[in-house]
Amino acid sequence: MTRISRRRSPTDANGNPAPPEADTSLGMLPDLIGYHVRLAQIAIFADFDEALARWQLSPGLFALLVIIEANPGLRQSQLARAAHLDRSTLVPALDKLEARGLVERRAAPDDRRSNGLWLTDEARPLLAAARSAVDAHERAIAAELSAEERSRLLDLLDRLAPHRRR
């Protein structure tokens, strides 16, 4: 006996059509990749937020810290490009990180329009701890996947919407 389908059928156990009351309605949505991606994203981000709550780091802020750590002295516009954000979007995010003493803007020596971005000494151990939490989060969300399935998933995701990836 094999499991019939991921999707519940719109009929109940007696073969009667499900009443509108049933929550199977979304099963009526065509099996769109975007829809499954969105549901996965919601679940993953909720888990990330809970896992990183101790450090008050959203996926976005965590990413900024990781990029700055890997590229000390990075300019704001470079960071914006790397994080796929408008440079105006980055400003309040950096304000937040700077207010929390995790990032420093230092005037660039060669170009007085630019700021170099640096992790503070306070940020380094925090980021290390956050990384551990992210690792645990990653294990939790991929708990049902083998290592092979996991890398297969990453590959398939990367091949979506090829005409859109810059």
Cβ-based neighbour number of residue 53 at 10 Å: 10
Q: Is 71 in the site for DNA (CB under 7 A)?
A: no
Number of residues that bind a copy of itself (CB under 8 A): 70
Q: Which amino acid is at 57?
A: L
Q: Quick one: which of 114, 120, 137, 142 contacts DNA (CB under 7 A)?
A: 114
Cβ-based neighbour number of residue 68 at 10 Å: 24
- Enumerate residues 6+ apart whose C-beta is below 8 A from 52: 58, 62, 130, 133, 134, 137
| Contact of 104 with 120, CB cutoff 8 Å | yes
- Output the smallest distance, CB 96 to a copy of itself, in A: 19
Q: Is 84 in the site for DNA (CB under 7 A)?
A: yes
Give the interface with a copy of itself as residue ranges (CB under 8 A). Answer: 6, 20-21, 23, 25-26, 28-48, 59, 63, 66-67, 69-75, 78-79, 81-84, 131, 134-135, 138, 140-145, 149-150, 152-165
